[in-house]
Amino acid sequence: MLKIGLVSVSDRASTGIYEDKGIPELVTWLKQAIKGDFLVETRLIPDEQPIVEQTLIELVDCHCCHLVLTTGGTGPAKRDITPDATLAIADKVMPGFGEQMRQISLHFVPTAILSRQVGVIRHQTLILNLPGQPKSIKETLEGVKDAAGHVLVHGIFASVPYCIQLLDGPYIETQDEIIKAFRPKSAIK
């Protein structure tokens, strides 16, 4: 069964100053987008690089998550260390994910170029750094659509099921009206 780790990186949310909205948005979106059951491991942690690194390692090495999605800590501010921690524990960098996330966000805000989001692989797990705002999380996952619902720019989740399949993970199907997963014809079951 698909196992997904969700990590919200926020000093203020982790200390209770305000309610975390990243993990609830991710859970809601994943339930709408993925056909079938999946398990979720969640973590709400501060912007401390050793803690982020340790959390990612735990979710991959100990909990055997197939996919880990982080939210928050991807900007240029001094405390924004999520991409640095992610790269520090990575075996491979998947630059296309970060490029696509910024491409999507540029359709909504010019400051998307300030984002340092990355995608990496650790062992057989895909790790993706998502933005911190719920609206931006959804946009990044789903992409840009016109008023009629036609895709203008593909969301990053369109590539996630096939990537996990290539990493010997479970076969994931999506709800096409939310996000249509892409696979070559030879990889469709």
Q: HSE of 10 in the Cβ direction (CA atoms, 13 Å)?
A: 24
The pLDDT value recorded for residue 18 is: 86
CA 39, 46, 138: angle at the middle one, nearest 5?
A: 50
The pLDDT value recorded for residue 124 is: 97
- Sketch the domain layout of the chain as residue ranges: 2-187
The pLDDT value recorded for residue 12 is: 83
Q: HSE of 137 in the Cβ direction (CA atoms, 13 Å)?
A: 23
pLDDT tens digits for range 66-89: 999 999 999 999 999 999 999 999
CATH number of 2-187: 3.40.980.10
The pLDDT value recorded for residue 146 is: 92
Q: List, for the chain, all residue ranges whose pLDDT scores fall below the cut of 70.
A: none
